[in-house]
Amino acid sequence: MSERIGWRYTVLVPAVLAVLSMIGPFSIDTPFPAFPEMGRDLDVDTGALQLIVTVYLGSFALMSVFHGPLSDAVGRRPVMLGGIAVYVLASLGCVVAASLPLLLVCRALQGLSAGGATIVSRTVIRDLFDGPQAQKLMSRVAIIFGLAPAVGPILGGALLQLGPWQLIFGFQAAMGVLLILSVLFLLPETHPRERRVPLRVGAVLGGLVEVGRVGAFHRLAWATALIFGAQFLYIGGAAIFVVDVLGEGELDFWKLFVPMIGSMMLGSWLCGRAAGRISARRLVSWGCTTSFAGGVVGVLVAALGAGDELPWAVLGVSLIALGNGITYPTLQLMLLDRFPTRRGAVVSLATFVALVLNAVTAVAVVPVIGGSALGFAVAALVGVGAGQLCWSWHVAVEDRDCAVSRDVGEREPVELL
């Protein structure tokens, strides 16, 4: 199909998909700079405000299981449009929320709906393209997607200079309206009726079960989730790391996010450049090794007493992000290629794994390790080390299966004609 597709699909569509994929991470950290003002207005402390992140992530994870399978049944566009419409209403609810409980309800609705854009958009590239071209375009999407965690807190801080914290959620609502228009006028339906699965509860859940029963899915999904989870420690705990550990202010989140996300974007660019030149397996191995090296560097820097001093404080996580940028687009394609008829289901389940891990990290890990740079660094090293083990396990299983298949083939009798 890719030979018949023109510049609209190689330029406009990836740009729209990248912005759609940004809505999830963008919604996580844009409010970070407003935490002090929100705490005063709502009369709550920093620990309670952390629920703004946790509730959003938990809700996103809960609904993420269903967005992809629904898109396999009814098409990509309806799920994206419906999700963004609810997201706009939820964002407006955050604007008028006068108490923390009401704000958390609206944040939960944001999380439940944002996956319609973030998750389903990842399947569209693979619907349209395959091989090196798919890898190149997935890398382009990842580059723009990577901007969200960096732009979010910077934009949030800038909006605070123009008005109260409610302006941040008003901006999110306006962004949702623009995304609806982009999907309506620029994005085609890439999952035709003949490829769809029946819209029945059994068929939708059956797709998830089909994906979840395959060992390769778990090895690849957990490798992705654990390595990115090491980077997410710093994203989800940015309000603590930047303000409490580094001693910076509400306009200084860029000092963490710019080098970290810039490194991830560089890694995604390198991934795109390597398409068709370096094998997917070798590329992922290089990326995993880079992230692990970043984890080690982070621990060494913190142990030597420079973990709360810039720029050394962000050196380790920037290397982790560089490795993530190299591996993430390729691992996503590996997962999608395992289940060509269940692409929505595989993205949903992989996202669910990652989000549950991130939600647990935000609730249970960040409050424990957030008091020191060394705590952040050690937790990140554990994450990248576990992800590296999952990838090594996957490579070993594939090599074993190939060896067994080759051995069986050699022993098969030759049929005489």
Residue 207 lies in a domain: yes
Residue 415 lies in a domain: no
Residue 408 lies in a domain: no
The letter for the amino acid at 381 is L
Average pLDDT over residues 101-123: 85
Residue 417 lies in a domain: no
pTM: 0.71
Separation CA 23–CA 27 (nearest Å)? 6
Residue 409 lies in a domain: no
Average pLDDT over residues 226-239: 83
Mean pLDDT across the chain, nearest whole number? 81
Residue 416 lies in a domain: no
Residue 106 lies in a domain: yes
Query: Domain span at residue 223?
Result: 2-401
Count structural domains, the chain: 1
> How high is the pLDDT of residue 204?
66
CB 226, CB 372: distance < 8 Å: no
**Cα→Cα distances 85→90, 175, 270, 342, Å:** 9, 11, 35, 25
CB 355, CB 60: distance < 8 Å: yes
For residues 127 and 399, the model is more confident at 399
Residue 414 lies in a domain: no
- List the CATH number of the domain containing 349: 1.20.1250.20
Separation CA 23–CA 61 (nearest Å)? 14
Residue 246: phi and psi, rounded to 5, are: -85, -15
Separation CA 351–CA 217 (nearest Å)? 12
Share of the chain above pLDDT 90, in %: 18
pLDDT band for 271, please (50, 70, 90 cuts). confident
Average pLDDT over residues 279-292: 89
Say yes or no to pLDDT of 190 above 70: yes
pLDDT band for 95, please (50, 70, 90 cuts). very high
